[in-house]
Every structure is written in structure tokens, then in C-alpha cells.
Amino acid sequence: MVASFRIMPNSENLPKQAAPHLTEAPSAFSEFPSLYKNYASTHAGVANPDADRVLTRDFLRHIPRSAQRILDLGCGQGQLVRLCQTAGFPDTYGVDISPEQLKLGRTANVSNLILGDAFDVLTDMTGQLDVVLACDFVEHLPRDAVLALFAAVVTALRPGGMFIGRTPNGNSPFHGFYYHGDLTHRSLLTPRSLHQVASNSGFSHPQVFPCPPVPHGPTSLARVVAWQFCEAVIKVAMRIETGLATDVITQNLVFTVSRPCE
């Protein structure tokens, strides 16, 4: 049974039993099979350990210490899975459709990686997850599948569970660097549209956070200071044009939403 993660962390096959309201989900990744099959060698490369501090800032700080079962959607080589496990969340699993990515993760001794479709795993985990993670995942889906994803996640979470994701920010003047840098990207969201899809799916407490440079030395500290100046100027320019305040304008954004407690 997929519902019992502990007995099949390295399974190569998952049952294809999509729920009726998710009948379009399995086709969400079918448009670019060759790109996903060779995703590491043609695009992602090998996981960079320097990204750990960014992933810690964007994800680990939002995970409640009480969380037990965590699932990372589109886990790639399992970098975020490994970080969660070493941070005290051993019951963290990742699912990805790229055999090449998962092979690299297993070679790096990351455990609990599953080859399969994220929608299938979510369907089989109804009410069993405390946290669902989606690092650079949502943008790979067409818009109808984005709606289906949020519906599937809210169903898979226990009451009070959290959905934490990172995605290119359509509000940023520079969003194209990430969004158009990958041919498999299909949806570009903004803080406003994230609130829209989250509320439509039954989530509560939507929050959005920026992804500025992370200081870890003199050079990166200089980048942080320079970005703060640039950010202020850009926000003023956008306020002049639209008359509206814009809080998050970094190229990526992080969102957190919660399933209401019953």
C-alpha cells in the first residue's frame, strides 16, 4: 500500500488510481516526457550543497516542530528531503517522476525517495500528512492542474496541516529569469492568484514571503544591502504606476497555507 510510506520508500511503481475530481492530473506531466526523463543532465545538474541555506530559509523555518509525516512533491534529487530528515523529521518522503533525478539522490544516500506521480501519492494519502512541500513544483503544472493540486493537497493533509511551496513570482519585474529558464514551466502565479487558488481549495491563513539573497559572507552581505536599495526603488516605481502597494517582488516567492482545524 502506498499509504504506508515506511514499507516502500524506494518503490519504482505506484498504483494509478486517480480520484474522480483529479482525472486530468496524470496528464499534467505528459507534455514533456523526454525533458523530465533527462531533467538532471539537460537542465537541473547535480544538487548544489550551497542551496541548503536557501532551502532552510524558505522551507524549514515554516515547518512546525510537531510535524511527523512530510511529503515533498517533485523532490528532484531529494535535497529538501535530506534537510528535513537531518533537522529532526525522519518521516519525510519525496516523490518525483524523473528516474534520473532520483538515481542521483539515492547515489547521494538520500532515503525515502519514490518514483511516481505526485497526484497518485496525494490521492492515496488522504488525511495522513502533516506537511506537504512543493519546491519549484507548482510552475510545472497547467492552470487546471494547479487547482487540482491544491484540492489534492488539502485532502491529503490532516486538519491543521500545512502546504509550503516556492514558485516564480509573477509580480517581480525579473520573473522571467526563473520562469522562462525552464521549458517545462507552464503556470506563473502572483501573491494575489495564490490567495485565490488557496481560498478556492479550502485553505486558510495564506501567507507569502520574499526570497531575497541569503547572507553567508562579505560578498553575499553586499548583495543583500544592494538588493534592499533596489527593492525600495522598484516598489516605489510600481506604486507610482499602479497606485497599489506591492510587498513581494523577488523573482521567487514562498507561500504557506493551512488546512483548517476541524
Q: List the end-to-end C-alpha distance of the chain, in Å, as a whole number.
A: 27
Q: What pLDDT is attached to residue 9?
A: 38
Q: State residue 157's pLDDT score.
A: 98
Q: Per-residue confidence of the chain (262 residues) as pLDDT tens digits?
A: 333 333 233 333 333 333 333 333 344 666 777 787 777 777 766 666 678 999 999 999 999 999 999 999 999 999 999 999 999 999 999 999 989 899 999 999 999 999 999 999 999 999 999 999 999 999 999 999 999 999 999 999 999 999 999 999 999 999 998 899 888 899 999 999 999 999 999 999 999 999 999 988 899 899 999 999 999 999 999 889 888 888 899 999 999 999 998 7
Q: What is the pLDDT of residue 28?
A: 61
What does 114-155 look like in DSSP terms, one character per residue?
A: EES-HHHHHHHTTT-EEEEEEET-GGGS-HHHHHHHHHHHHH
Domain ranges of the chain: 5-213+248-258
> Do 137 and 45 form a contact (C-beta atoms < 8 A)?
no
CB atoms within 10 A of CB 233: 9
Alpha carbons 133 and 93: distance in angstroms, whole number: 10
| Alpha-carbon distances of 102 from 49, 55, 79, 109, 205, rounded to whole Å | 16, 18, 10, 11, 33
What pLDDT is attached to residue 21?
A: 32
Cβ atoms of 125 and 156 within 8 Å: the answer is: yes
HSE-CB at 8 with a 13 A cutoff on CA atoms is 15
Task: Name the architecture of domain 5-213+248-258.
Answer: 3-Layer(aba) Sandwich (3.40)
Give the model's pLDDT for residue 160. 96
Report the half-sphere exposure of 31 (CA within 13 A, side-chain side).
11
